[in-house]
């Protein structure tokens, strides 16, 4: 049977198929044409109607889709001669991007991936209208290639061979190129993700944004690059299916789900998961507990006024060199069902968020960065303090609002970055000093520090007992190169995936009471009216997320008292480590960087400014520096160095100025 008769047979079958299974859908599309131009057909319906026709679609997609389009025209009761696109969903021939090799060229395939970048929408000439230069006769030629214009070979009127393209009278179609990357959860450690070029046409253009998770159905084709002469594959897209929830995590079998539910019944599951987090690293229980909670995450919410409350937990680990921060981050990036690892030294702001890049034809397009590609997963940023200041500013919006807004090269877009951030940084001066505020010791701005839910400081202090245990652990690891897992990493990944996808716990009244009391009691722990502010609403929201994650670990749909207590205990442990003022023994949230200046520091600045005012009155408007230093030492026990530091800051802020060396005046 030749191709023409095959097409006629397929057309007849499709006429029957549409008339029986999709009659109402066809009528709806024809009524709305040309505003709507696509009819979506379920592949399973076609397979049940005619298995041979369904198989032929996989093998010869262009012929079969053309036959389906002709069938629509044949049964068109409104005689519109409508050009309807036939799009197929739920294709059984699903292939991973890395497996889309030459044997699939010309076949109909479906593949999952993340949209990496999208190019500008451009017109492609579909039917060219040519005028013969000799006799002015018009000729229409269908264009199959987007790169070269196909002219008529001969004028049917005068036999001439010279033609002029009439651009305004030719027929065009919208076209757009995009690039897709294979899902992060399909990658094995250290492998580069496979990318695939996509061609979108007609009403499919402008459907994709960088960072979208999609299942693409289309024909795998190949073209020859002009410069290199090499062939390159691409997918001519037929259908786009957004994958939000389903794509979020790993595929789980019924057997996996049974194991997961059985594991959740274990009374020691909470401790087992903590011990299974970075088991090759000795100690750091609180850090591991926090990371375990981060992997499960809290419950994201959308309020009636469209305000979104994030459920993702952000953690910052500040530690002395050589304590295993990078190893913890690497382990988490392998354990999380979807994760990206990046290091501050080699990361730019565009690499974190999105970059505006030029495409092959000189236009601008957006390419998604780590925070966008890691949407609904984990992003591990090592050496956060080593990033350039202008690059770090990209984190502000992503950490709190969980979006990335771009305004570059005339492109304005907002992309999703709903991910948990686990970051590590070193103290600015090599070792951590508990007597200095955190914001001074990390080369990070206060607004970024304050956006982390939990901040851990790990100090490397010598201790005979702990050092002996650590040495034994490291030597044993090197000797036997084996680790005793409480829960195997593969099962734990699936457990996390299941919990994130299926469990969405809500707060009980009892848990609410615990969290409310923690917030109110901590905030009002200082009897002074103008005392330090121990915590803000940010820490309360962080504690709620931790409590929800604790419930998720046990696959519970309610946040109970034990979950609230665990969250409060962890939050207090962090606050006491980094927020406690060694001089007063009070927790002061401003030591972490909430406003940049702790209460204790503000008091000292206040005393210096008041003393300057007093001396100014005594000395006729000028303040001798030596008198100020002497008075501050005698009255308040403030060292000369500290007083001079405060004076320098006041000069920089324009509160006082220095008319002559050794003397000051108030502005």
Q: Is residue 382 part of a domain?
A: yes
pLDDT category of residue 667 using cuts at 50, 70 and 90: low
Nearest residue to 210 (alpha-carbon basis) of 26, 404, 454, 456? 404
Model confidence at 597: pLDDT above 60 = no
Q: What is the CATH number of the domain that holds 415?
A: 3.40.50.300
Residues spanned by the domain of 646 = 599-666
Distance CA 16, CA 349 (A): 56
- 295 and 315 co-located in one domain: yes
- 81 and 206 co-located in one domain: no
Q: Is residue 515 part of a domain?
A: no
Distance CA 633, CA 630 (A): 5
Q: Can you give the pLDDT at residue 80?
A: 60
Distance CA 456, CA 445 (A): 17
Model confidence at 553: pLDDT above 60 = yes
Q: Is residue 137 part of a domain?
A: yes
**In 243-322, at which residue ranges do the beta strands (DSSP E only) sit?**
301-302, 308-309, 315-319
Model confidence at 588: pLDDT above 60 = no
Exposure pattern of 603-641 as b/e (b: 16+ CB <10 Å)? ebeebbbebbeebbeeeeeebebeebbebbeeeeebeee
- 306 and 233 co-located in one domain: no
Q: Can you give the pLDDT at residue 248?
A: 43
- Other beta carbons within 10 angstroms of residue 51's beta carbon come to 10
- 112 and 229 co-located in one domain: yes
Q: Is residue 588 part of a domain?
A: no
- 435 and 316 co-located in one domain: yes
DSSP 377-408: SEEEEESGGGS-HHHHTTHHHHHHT-EEEEEE
Q: Can you give the pLDDT at residue 15?
A: 81
Q: Can you give the pLDDT at residue 595?
A: 47
Distance CA 53, CA 65 (A): 11
Q: 141-163 pLDDT, tens per residue? A: 887 765 678 888 888 778 788 88
- 160 and 54 co-located in one domain: no
Distance CA 241, CA 42 (A): 12
Lowest mean pLDDT: which of 42-56, 138-152, 168-182? 138-152
**In 527-591, at which residue ranges do the beta strands (DSSP E only) sit?**
558-559
Q: Can you give the pLDDT at residue 7?
A: 63
- 440 and 359 co-located in one domain: yes
Nearest residue to 29 (alpha-carbon basis) of 80, 84, 66, 81? 84
CA angle 125, 131, 133 (to 5 degrees): 135
Nearest residue to 562 (alpha-carbon basis) of 572, 575, 551? 551
- Region 414-429: what's the mean pLDDT? 81
Q: Which residues contact 392 (CB under 8 A, 6 or more apart)?
A: 349, 384, 444, 445, 448
Q: Is residue 590 part of a domain?
A: no
- 265 and 240 co-located in one domain: no
Taken in order 25, 30, 36, 42, is the CA torsion positive or negative?
Answer: positive
- 18 and 83 co-located in one domain: yes
CA angle 541, 374, 557 (to 5 degrees): 45
- 81 and 161 co-located in one domain: no
Q: What is the CATH number of the domain that holds 77?
A: 3.30.1640.10
Q: Is residue 581 part of a domain?
A: no
Q: What is the CATH number of the domain that holds 622?
A: 1.10.10.10
- 39 and 113 co-located in one domain: no
Model confidence at 591: pLDDT above 60 = no
pTM over 0.75: no
Distance CA 268, CA 352 (A): 38
Distance CA 644, CA 628 (A): 9
Lowest mean pLDDT: which of 18-32, 279-293, 310-324, 528-542? 528-542
Choosing from 216, 247, 278, the residue where a domain stops is 247
Q: Can you give the pLDDT at residue 347?
A: 67
Lowest mean pLDDT: which of 46-55, 159-168, 181-190, 273-282? 181-190
Q: What is the CATH number of the domain that holds 240?
A: 2.40.50.140
Rank 243-257, 455-469, 528-542 by mean pLDDT and report only the highest.
Answer: 455-469
Q: Can you give the pLDDT at residue 598?
A: 56
Query: Rounded mean pLDDT of the chain?
Result: 77
pLDDT category of residue 586 using cuts at 50, 70 and 90: low
Model confidence at 548: pLDDT above 60 = yes
Taken in order 99, 103, 106, 109, is the CA torsion positive or negative?
Answer: negative
Q: 488-519 pLDDT, tens per residue? A: 888 888 888 888 888 888 889 999 998 888 88
Q: Can you give the pLDDT at residue 379?
A: 84
Check residue 93 and report its DSSP letter.
Answer: -
Count the domains in the chain. 4
Q: Can you give the pLDDT at residue 275?
A: 84
pLDDT category of residue 245 using cuts at 50, 70 and 90: very low
Check residue 618 and report its DSSP letter.
Answer: H
Model confidence at 450: pLDDT above 60 = yes
Q: Is residue 524 part of a domain?
A: no
Rank 169-178, 448-457, 587-596, 648-657 by mean pLDDT and report only the highest.
Answer: 169-178
Q: Can you give the pLDDT at residue 137?
A: 84
Q: Is residue 576 part of a domain?
A: no
Model confidence at 1: pLDDT above 60 = no
pLDDT category of residue 6 using cuts at 50, 70 and 90: low
Dihedral angle at the C-alpha atoms of 235, 241, 246, 248, nearest 10 degrees? 60
Distance CA 355, CA 368 (A): 7
- 241 and 263 co-located in one domain: no
Choosing from 247, 264, 286, the residue where a domain stops is 247
Choosing from 38, 64, 89, the residue where a domain stops is 89
């Amino acid at each position: 049977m030749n191709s023409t008769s095959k097409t006629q047979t397929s057309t007849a079958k499709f006429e029957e198929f549409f008339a029986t299974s999709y009659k109402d859908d066809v009528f709806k599309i024809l009524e709305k044409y040309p505003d709507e131009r696509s009819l979506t057909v379920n592949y399973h319906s076609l397979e049940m109607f005619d298995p041979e026709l369904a198989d032929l679609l996989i093998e010869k997609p262009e012929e079969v889709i053309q036959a389906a389009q002709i069938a629509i025209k044949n049964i068109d009761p409104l005689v519109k001669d409508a050009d309807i696109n036939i799009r197929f969903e739920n294709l059984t021939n699903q292939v991973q991007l890395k497996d889309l090799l030459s044997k699939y060229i010309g076949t109909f395939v479906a593949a999952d991936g993340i949209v990496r970048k999208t190019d500008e929408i451009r017109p492609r000439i579909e039917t060219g209208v040519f005028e013969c230069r000799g006799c002015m006769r018009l000729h229409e030629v269908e264009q199959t290639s987007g790169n070269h214009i196909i002219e008529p070979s001969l004028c049917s009127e005068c036999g001439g061979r010279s033609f002029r393209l009439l651009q305004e009278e030719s027929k065009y179609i919208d076209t757009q190129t995009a690039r897709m990357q294979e899902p992060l959860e399909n990658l094995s450690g250290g492998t580069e993700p496979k990318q695939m070029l996509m061609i979108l046409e007609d009403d499919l253009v402008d459907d994709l944004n960088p960072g979208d998770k999609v299942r693409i159905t289309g024909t795998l084709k190949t073209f020859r690059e002009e410069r290199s002469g090499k062939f390159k594959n691409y997918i001519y897209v037929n259908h786009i299916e957004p994958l939000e929830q389903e794509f979020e995590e790993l595929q789980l079998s019924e057997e996996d789900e049974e194991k997961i539910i059985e594991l959740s019944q274990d009374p020691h599951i909470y401790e087992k998961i903590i011990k299974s987090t970075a088991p090759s690293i000795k100690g750091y229980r609180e850090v591991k507990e926090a990371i375990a909670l981060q992997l499960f995450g809290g419950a994201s919410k959308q309020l009636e006024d469209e305000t979104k409350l994030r459920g993702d937990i952000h953690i910052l680990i500040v530690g002395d060199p050589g304590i295993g921060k990078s190893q913890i981050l690497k382990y988490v990036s392998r354990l999380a069902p979807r994760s990206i690892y990046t290091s501050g030294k080699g990361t730019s702001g565009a690499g974190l968020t999105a970059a505006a890049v030029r495409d092959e034809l000189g236009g601008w397009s957006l390419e998604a960065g780590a925070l966008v590609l890691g949407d609904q997963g984990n992003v591990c940023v090592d050496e956060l303090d080593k990033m350039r200041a202008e690059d770090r500013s990209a984190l502000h919006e992503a950490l709190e609002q969980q979006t990335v807004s771009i305004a570059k090269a005339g492109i304005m877009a907002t992309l999703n970055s709903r991910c948990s951030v686990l970051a590590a940084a070193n103290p600015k001066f090599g070792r951590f000093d508990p007597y200095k505020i955190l914001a001074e010791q990390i080369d990070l701005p206060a607004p970024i520090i304050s956006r982390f839910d939990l901040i851990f400081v790990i100090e490397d202090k010598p201790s005979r007992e702990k050092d002996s245990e650590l040495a034994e652990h490291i030597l044993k690891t090197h000797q036997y190169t084996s680790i005793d897992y409480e829960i195997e990493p593969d099962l734990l990944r699936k457990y996390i995936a299941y919990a994130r996808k299926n469990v969405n716990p809500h707060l009980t009244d009892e848990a609410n009471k615990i969290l409310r009391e923690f917030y109110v009691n901590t905030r009002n722990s200082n009897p002074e009216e103008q005392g330090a502010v121990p915590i803000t609403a940010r820490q309360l929201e962080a504690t709620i997320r931790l409590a929800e994650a604790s419930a998720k670990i046990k696959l519970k749909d309610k946040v109970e008292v034990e979950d609230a207590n665990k969250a409060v205990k962890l939050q207090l442990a962090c606050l006491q480590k980094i927020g406690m003022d060694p001089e007063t023994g009070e927790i002061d949230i401003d030591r972490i960087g909430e406003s940049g200046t702790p209460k204790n520091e503000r008091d000292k600045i206040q005393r210096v400014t008041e003393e300057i005012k007093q001396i100014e009155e005594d000395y006729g408007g000028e303040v001798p520096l030596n008198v100020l230093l002497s008075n501050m030492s005698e009255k308040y026990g403030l060292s000369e160095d500290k007083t001079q530091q405060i004076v320098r800051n006041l000069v920089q802020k324009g509160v006082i100025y220095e008319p002559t060396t050794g003397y000051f005046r108030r502005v």
